[in-house]
Amino acid sequence: MIPDEKADPARWRPISRFPGNIDSPTPGPWVTVDFGACSRGGPLRAVNDDHYLIMRLGRHLETLRSSLPSGEIPARFEEFAYTMVVADGMGRDAEAASRLAIATFAQQAVHFGKWNVRIDTPVADDVMDRAARFFKNVDAALLDAARGNPAGLQTTLTALLTAGDELFFAYVGDSPLYLFRDGALARLTREHSLDYARQSQAASVELPDFTYVEPDMLGGTRLSRPMVGVERCGLLDGDIVLMCTKGLAGAVEDSRIAEMLRLHRTPDEQCRALVDLAARSGSNDDVTTLVGHFHISARLGTDG
C-alpha cells in the first residue's frame, strides 16, 4: 500500500534497517533554535570593540523528479548545525582584532568544508580537534596582521557549535558562555588566568596580595601562546544558551542574569534587557549578548 502523503504528516519515515554497514552516524533529533543578539558600545567609547556572528550550517536532500509513488522517498530531508561566536578586542586596535578574529574563524568554516551535523565519538573528537586548530589559525592570523605594531592585535574569542543535542565550545579569554536549564544558570567556560593563579598557589608559588594575572588572549605580543579550552556537553529541549562579553559578565551577578532569562521573552528581548541591565549596573565597557533558545524533538520525518 502506497502511503498517503496527506494522511502521513511525517511524509517520509526511514526504514528501520539497511543491509550492510552504515559508515556514518544516524540522523540526530530535530533541532530548531530561536536566536537573539544585541551589541552596544560603552558610554565613554568612540568605537564598539566587540563583534559577533551567528551561523546555520546545513545539508539537505531534495527530490526534484521521480517516478516513485509519493511518500516512497523523501521530498526533502534536511539537518542543521548552529554556530555562535563572540570576540572582545583589547588594546589599541581592539575593533580590528575582534573583527579579524571572527572573519578568520568563519572563513575557515567555509574553506574546510566538513560541516559535521551528525555526531558520534569519532566525529566528536574530530570536531574538538578542529576547533583547537581553528583557534590556533586565528591566533596566527592576528600575529601576522600585527607585524610592525608593537602592541599587537589581541582579542578574546568564544565559539560554539551545536549539532543535534550536542554542544561543543572553544574559548580563549574572558568572554563567557552560560547554559540556562530548568531555571538555573551554569557558566560553562573558565577563566584560564584564574586557573593559572590557583595552580601557582597549589604549587606553593608565592603570589603577592592582589595579584593581577593577565587573562589569555589570542594575538598579542607574548612569546607563550594562549591555551585554548575545548569542551563538550549535551543539550536538552528548552535549554537556553547565553554568550556574552565581559561588559555584562563583569558588571552583573549571575543571579541577576538568571532572573532575566527566567522571564518569558523572545531571545532578542532578553538580549536587549541584559545589555540595559549592564548599563544600569554601571558597566562602562562594550556589551554584547547572544541568546539561543533550543527546541529539540525526535526526528520522525521531514516536511515536503
117: enclosing H helix or E strand? none
Q: Given a cut of 50, is residue 207 above it in pLDDT?
A: no
Binning pLDDT at 50, 70 and 90, where does residue 199 land?
A: very low
Sign of CA dihedral 96, 97, 99, 101: positive
Q: Determine contact, residues 296/29, Cβ cutoff 8 Å.
A: yes
Q: How far apart are CA 87 and CA 109, in angstroms?
A: 17
pLDDT per residue as tens digits for the range 51-105: 999 999 998 889 999 999 888 888 888 899 999 999 999 988 999 999 999 999 9
Sign of CA dihedral 105, 110, 112, 117: positive
DSSP assignments along 152-172, one per residue: --EE-EEEEEEETTEEEEEEE
Q: How far apart are CA 293 and CA 296, in angstroms?
A: 10
- Predicted TM-score (pTM) of the model is 0.84
Binning pLDDT at 50, 70 and 90, where does residue 24 land?
A: confident
Say which CATH topology domain 30-297 has: Phosphatase 2c; domain 1 (3.60.40)
Binning pLDDT at 50, 70 and 90, where does residue 202 land?
A: very low
HEC readout, 190-217: CCHHHHHHHHHHHCCCCCCCCCCCCCCC
Span 115-144, average pLDDT: 92
φ, ψ for residue 154, nearest 5 deg: -140, 145
